[in-house]
Chain A
Amino acid sequence: MIDPKIPDGELSKKWENFKSSSSLISPSNRRKFRIIVVGTGLAGASAAASLGEQGYNVVAFTYHDSPRRAHSVAAQGGINAAKNYRNDGDSILRLFYDTIKGGDFRSREANVYRLAEISLQIIDHCVALGVPFAREYGGTLDTRSFGGTRVSRTFYARGQTGQQLLLACYSALERQVANGTVKLLPFKEMVDLVVEGNRARGILVRDLLTGRLERYAGDCVILATGGYSNVYYLSTNAKKSNATAIVRAYKRGAGFANPCFTQIHPTCIPRSSETQSKLTLMSESLRNDGRVWVPKDPSMRAKDPREIAEKDRFYYLEEWYPSYGNLTPRDIASRAAKRVCDMGLGVGPLGQAVYLDFADAIKRLGKNVVYERYGNLFEMYQLITGENPWEFPMKIYPAPHYTMGGLWVDYTLMSNVEGLFVIGEANFSDHGANRLGASALMQGLADGFFIIPYSVPNYLASAGKNTLAEDSKIFDFSEKQITNTIKDFLEADGDKTVEEVHRSLGKIMWDKCGMSRSLTGLKEALEEVLVLKEKFKSLIRISTNDERLNDSLEKAMRVKDFIDLAEIMIRDAIERDESCGAHFREEHQTSDGEAIRNDERFAKVQIWFDRGEPALETEDLKFEFVKPSERSYK
Chain B
Amino acid sequence: MREVTNRSMEIRLKIWRQESPESNGYFEEFLVENISPEASLLEALDSLNERLTLENRRPISFDSDCREGICGTCGFVINGRPHGPFPGVTTCQLHMRMFEKAGLLVLEPFRGGPFKVLKDLIVDRSGLDRIIQAGGFISVSTGSAPEANSILVPKNLAEEAFNAAACIGCGACVAACPNGSAMLFTAAKIKHLNILPQGKAESKKRTKNMLDAMINEGFGACSNHGECETVCPKRISLETINFAFKEGLSS
B169 at the interface (CB under 8 A from A): yes
B53 pairs with A541, CB closer than 8 A: yes
Bound Cα distance A172, B71 (Å) = 18
- Given A158-B162, A171-B138, A275-B36, A140 contacting B149 (CB threshold 8 A): yes
A133 pairs with B138, CB closer than 8 A: no
Interface residues of A in 366-401 (CB under 8 A from B): 380, 383-387, 392
B179 at the interface (CB under 8 A from A): no
Bound Cα distance A476, B127 (Å) = 35
Against A, the Cβ 8 Å flags (1 = close, 0 = not) of B36-60 are 1011101110110110111011110
Which of A64-72, A505-513, A517-525 forms contacts with chain B?
A64-72
Q: How far is the CB of B12 from chain A (nearest CB, A)?
A: 18
A592 at the interface (CB under 8 A from B): no
**From B35, B67, B89, B148, residue with most partner A Cβ within 10 Å:** B148
23 A–B contacts from the bound complex (CB under 8 Å): A53-B141, A67-B129, A68-B169, A69-B72, A71-B65, A74-B68, A74-B70, A85-B149, A124-B146, A124-B148, A126-B148, A130-B196, A130-B198, A163-B168, A174-B129, A238-B65, A239-B66, A272-B38, A497-B50, A541-B56, A543-B56, A546-B58, A549-B61
Out of A74, A140, A543, which one reaches B53, CB within 8 Å?
A: A543
- Given A174-B136, A495-B54, A49 contacting B44 (CB threshold 8 A): no
B158 at the interface (CB under 8 A from A): yes
A535 at the interface (CB under 8 A from B): no
Give the number of chain B interface residues (Cβ < 8 Å). Answer: 82
Which B residues form the contact surface with A (CB < 8 A)? 1-2, 4, 20, 35-36, 38-40, 42-44, 46-47, 49-50, 52-54, 56-59, 61, 63-73, 89, 93, 95, 97, 118-119, 122, 124-126, 128-129, 132-134, 136-149, 151-155, 158-159, 161-162, 165-166, 168-169, 192-193, 196, 198-199
Interface residues of A in 92-117 (CB under 8 A from B): none
Q: How far is the CB of B11 from chain A (nearest CB, A)?
A: 13
Chain A residue, CB-CB nearest to B73: A69
Q: How far is the CB of A44 from chain B (nearest CB, A)?
A: 14
A178 pairs with B165, CB closer than 8 A: no
B196 neighbours in A (Cβ, 8 Å): 130, 132
Against B, the Cβ 8 Å flags (1 = close, 0 = not) of A318-357 are 0000000000000000000000000000000100000000
B61 pairs with A66, CB closer than 8 A: no
Bound Cα distance A466, B121 (Å) = 44
Q: What is the number of contacts between chain A and chain B, taking CB atoms within 8 Å?
A: 226
Against B, the Cβ 8 Å flags (1 = close, 0 = not) of A168-189 are 0011101101100000001000
Out of A68, A280, A386, A450, which one reaches B68, CB within 8 Å?
A: A280
Q: How far is the CB of A557 from chain B (nearest CB, A)?
A: 16
A626 at the interface (CB under 8 A from B): no
A127 pairs with B162, CB closer than 8 A: no
Q: How far is the CB of A511 from chain B (nearest CB, A)?
A: 22
A71 pairs with B137, CB closer than 8 A: no
Q: How far is the CB of A64 from chain B (nearest CB, A)?
A: 7
A500 at the interface (CB under 8 A from B): yes
A464 at the interface (CB under 8 A from B): no
A128 pairs with B53, CB closer than 8 A: no
A272 neighbours in B (Cβ, 8 Å): 36, 38
Q: Do most interface residues of chain B lie in helix, strand or loop, or is the interface mixed?
A: loop
Out of B39, B89, B159, B166, which one reaches A383, CB within 8 Å?
A: B89
A124 neighbours in B (Cβ, 8 Å): 145-148
A240 pairs with B65, CB closer than 8 A: yes
Q: How far is the CB of B54 from chain A (nearest CB, A)?
A: 6
Out of B54, B61, B70, which one reaches A551, CB within 8 Å?
A: B61
The 9 closest A-B pairs by CB, nearest first: A139-B152, A128-B145, A171-B137, A543-B53, A349-B4, A273-B36, A132-B162, A132-B161, A238-B65
Bound Cα distance A453, B152 (Å) = 29
A275 pairs with B43, CB closer than 8 A: yes
A157 pairs with B64, CB closer than 8 A: no
B146 pairs with A387, CB closer than 8 A: no
A239 neighbours in B (Cβ, 8 Å): 64-67
Out of A67, A74, A349, which one reaches B66, CB within 8 Å?
A: A74
- Given A132-B192, A134-B158, A127 contacting B145 (CB threshold 8 A): yes
A22 at the interface (CB under 8 A from B): no
A276 at the interface (CB under 8 A from B): yes
